[in-house]
Structure 1
Amino acid sequence: MTLAPPLQLNVGDDDRIEASPFGAHALSWRCQGRERLYLSPRASFGEGKAIRGGVPVVFPQFGERGGGPRHGFARISAWEPLDGLGSSAPRLAFRLRDNEHTRLHWPHRFEAELALEPSDNRLRIALTVRNLDDAAFEFTAALHTYLRVADIAGTLVHGLEDRPYFDSARDGKHVEATDAPVRFEGEVDRIYPGTRRVLRVTDGEQMLRVESEGFADTVVWNPGAELAAGLADLGPGEHRHFVCVEAARILEPVRLEPGTGWTGAQHLIVGETLR
Structure 2
Amino acid sequence: MTASIETRTFHDQPALVLRTPGGAQAVVSLLGAQVLSWTPAGGSEWLYLSPQARHDGSTPIRGGIPVCFPQFAALGRLPKHGLVRTRRWTVGEQRSGDDFALVTLTTSEDDASYAAWPQRFSAEITVIIEGERLGVELEVGNTGHAPFAFTAALHTYLRVGEVENARLEGLHGHEYRDAADNDRIKRDSGDALVVEAETDRVYHDVQRPLLLRDGGRSLGINVEGFPDVVVWNPWEQRCAQMPDLPANGFRHMLCVEAAAARHRIELDAGEQWYGRQTLIAL
Q: Partner of 1:104: helix, strand, or coil?
A: helix
Deviates more, 1:261-270 or 1:87-96: 87-96
Equivalent of 1:239, from 246, 250, 262? 250
Give the distance between the partners of 1:263 and 1:270, measured in 2 at CA.
Answer: 23
Question: What is the CA deviation profile of residues 29-74 of structure 1, one whole-angstrom value per residue up to 9, with x for unaligned ones?
Answer: 0112411111000001122311000000000001111221100011
* Equivalent of 2:118 in 107, 121, 131: 107
SS in 2 for 1:34: coil
Residue identity in the other structure for 1:73:
L
Structure 2 unmatched runs, 5+? 1-11
Q: Contact 1:150 / 1:205 at 8 angstroms: preserved in 2?
A: no
How far the C-alpha of 1:12 sits from its partner, in A, is 2.8
- SS of residue matched to 1:258: coil
1:68 and 1:252 map into 2 onto residues whose CA distance is: 16
> TM-score if structure 2 supplies the norm length?
0.92
TM-aligned CA deviation for residue 236 of structure 1:
2.0
- Count of aligned positions: 268
Q: Does 1:270 align with 2:281?
A: yes
Match of 1:21 in 2: 30
Kindly indicate whether the alpha-carbon contact (under 8 Å) linking 2:13 and 2:55 is maintained by their aligned counterparts in 1: no
The answer to whether structure 1 residue 46 and structure 2 residue 53 are counterparts is: no
Q: Please provide the CA RMSD for this pair.
A: 1.4
CA contact (8 A) 1:164 1:178 kept: no
Alpha-carbon distance between aligned partners in 2 of 1:214 and 1:38, rounded to the nearest angstrom: 24
Q: Aligned match of 1:75 in 79, 85, 88?
A: 85
Pairing 1:175-214 to 2, within 5 Å after superposition = 175-214=186-225
Alignment of 1:132-147 (within 5 A): 132-147=143-158
- CA distances 1:149-183 after superposition (whole Å, capped 9, x unpaired): 11101011100011121100112111123233111
Q: Residues 124 and 267 of structure 1 are in contact (CA less than 8 Å); yes or no, is this contact kept in structure 2?
A: yes
The equivalent residue for 1:96 is: 107
Kindly report structure 1 stretches of 4+ aligned residues shifted beyond 6 Å.
none
CA distance in 1, matches of 2:58, 2:102: 26
Deviation for aligned residue 1:13: 4.7
Instruction: From 20, 44, 58, give the equivalent of 1:34.
Output: 44
One-letter amino acid of the counterpart of residue 6, structure 1: A
* Structure number having the greater strand percentage: 2
- Asked whether 1:160 is paired with 2:171, we answer yes
Q: What do the CA deviations read for 1:178-227 (whole angstroms, capped 9, x no partner)?
A: 23311111101000010011100011221100000000000000111111
Q: Distance in 1 between matches of 2:248 and 2:123?
A: 35
Secondary structure of 1:43's match? coil
Q: Secondary structure at the match of 1:250?
A: strand
Structure 1 segments unaligned to the other structure (5+ residues):
none
Moved more, 67-76 or 171-180: 171-180
